[in-house]
Chains A and B, each alone.
Chain A
């Protein structure tokens, strides 16, 4: 009986969700499928032209670039981050806390601030080039550009790859590792056949937590891209902030949302499949 009574606690939130989660998304969907002045409902008519525009060569290039950059940064975050997670997980307990804590400090600092910090380092007369010229090396013109955006992504998202992997790694039962070495496996074998497969849920989490913000960011590309690197996030933001084309902006948002949700669905398959001890995603 209590069960029936208790569930009414959730009803207000259900209403809230409908108002603030469901309806807004439907509105976006609605605008993506119409054309006309959004402030004058009578002028709106059904149209697929916003979706058709997405396939315009220019926009497709931008969309592809976003995915490419997100993919590369996720990959790099994985290869750079997995060792970090491994090291922290296997280090002596007395150092573990300090190491983890100092690793987390940058995340707790404001995201915009961290990206801004990179601007100072990578700009033509920034710290990096000053250092290089001091050492007698040629200056690099990294910023603005794709490399700068990539670096910005890795810098911001690396901890999000490390943390889930670390969480999973630290929960691996030590006895499993002992069993492996008892059965004759050396360190490398243990890693590839035991540790890596067991860490797959963490890897999947990490990939999700890096890929999604990477593909939808507009801040990093705005600040480090110099107006030349326009990603999906920038495209969408511009439709609302600059071109006043709510229909096209909505269509792009819907497409982005669908792509992300599909990739998440695919990812979650891997999470539950890990009992088969398959190799990591890559």
Chain B
């Protein structure tokens, strides 16, 4: 009985989660633009998707910004985390409290604050400002991932390395970094995921010609039915499922899936 209830409940939840997506996928093959009639099977919306310069441009910027921002924020974040870890108590508290502000603040406040900064300094909004704002909200997450690993690390290993004649830089490279690497990778992945999906912060800090997927969908969604978005949904679902299957194959514990 309990088993049945479980299955039933989970099925309901999954229907709830997937219904909208499945519906869009079905419509993506619909010949007719209208949501009411089925006009026949077609792949033309997919063709249109690839010809749509705007969507390609949006995808391009989305990936570019996400990649650059995650790399930059991982590098800065990792080194800063190491630095913070080695700070005195007061300094550490101060640094961490400010650092976590972008995490705690609603993204609309962070986005507006950054926009205010750029406008006040008469900086033209565009690719650079969008990249900077992504880095701003990415670094705290990197630090969030790396710090616990630093705490877990055995302090004596580093001391031992120094005692044995290693320069601090060498100790950093060969002792510290390998130990905290899982945290660094996780941080990079979180940064990347957040950047790909970001809407609000990018919305306020981008300029003419620079857009990302979320911003593009937002403006498209307010124009009514755009079947190429449905096609995009299908492709996206496919990509995500394949990616997750690949990652899953390489993971032993299910818990690691959680970002």
- Which A residues form the contact surface with B (CB < 8 A)? 2-14, 16-17, 19-25, 27-28, 31, 38, 80, 83-84, 87, 91, 93, 96-97, 99-106, 108-121, 123, 125-127, 130, 155, 158, 163, 166-167, 170, 212-213, 215-216, 218-219, 222-223, 233, 236-237, 240, 246, 249-250, 253, 256-257, 260-261, 264
Contacts and interface: CB of A to CB of B under 8 A. Distances in A.
Given A28-B109, A106-B21, A112-B217, A21 B101 contact: yes
Given A6-B168, A253-B108, A99 B10 contact: yes
A11 B76 CA distance: 11
Chain A interface, >50% SS class: helix
A28 B116 contact: yes
Contact of B115 (A99, A110, A240): A240
B95 interface: yes
Given A6-B83, A6-B85, A25-B109, 16 more contacts: A7-B84, A7-B87, A9-B79, A17-B99, A24-B114, A93-B254, A100-B254, A101-B244, A108-B240, A113-B236, A116-B24, A120-B20, A120-B24, A155-B16, A237-B108, A250-B112
Given A9-B83, A11-B83, A117 B233 contact: yes
A12 B76 contact: yes
Given A20-B136, A21-B136, A102 B36 contact: no
A24 B111 CA distance: 10
A101 B248 contact: yes
B257 A100 contact: yes
Contacts of A27: 113, 116-117, 120
Contact of B237 (A22, A103, A109, A118): A109
Q: How large is the interface on B (under 10, 10 to 19, 20 to 34, 35 or more residues)?
A: 35 or more
Contacts of B197: 110-111
A70 B244 CA distance: 30
Contact of A106 (B18, B91, B218, B245): B18
A22 B241 CA distance: 40
A86 to B, nearest CB: 9
Contacts of A101: 244-245, 248, 257
A5 B176 CA distance: 14
Given A106-B17, A112-B214, A2 B168 contact: yes
Contact of B162 (A2, A84, A100, A215): A2
B153 interface: no
Contacts of A167: 255, 258
Contact of B98 (A17, A109, A163, A249): A17
A5 B84 contact: no
Given A12-B80, A87-B6, A223-B222, A120 B217 contact: no
A253 B168 contact: no
B204 A240 contact: yes
Nearest to A81: B13
A73 B120 CA distance: 37
Given A7-B84, A84-B13, A155-B16, A113 B217 contact: yes
A20 B237 contact: no
B82 A9 contact: yes
B200 interface: yes
Interface string B103-125: 01111110011111101100000
A114 B112 contact: no
Contacts of A260: 104-106
A2 B172 CA distance: 11
A16 to B, nearest CB: 7
The 10 closest A-B pairs by CB, nearest first: A10-B83, A117-B20, A9-B83, A216-B106, A24-B113, A13-B80, A6-B86, A112-B217, A24-B117, A97-B254
B19 A8 contact: no
8 contacts: A2-B171, A6-B85, A10-B95, A16-B76, A23-B117, A101-B245, A101-B248, A237-B108
A116 B229 contact: yes
A200 B251 CA distance: 28
A80 to B, nearest CB: 7
B83 A13 contact: yes
B35 A112 contact: no
Contacts of B236: 109-110, 113
Contacts of A14: 95
Contacts of A163: 258
A119 B254 contact: no
Contacts of B80: 9-10, 12-13
B14 A121 contact: no
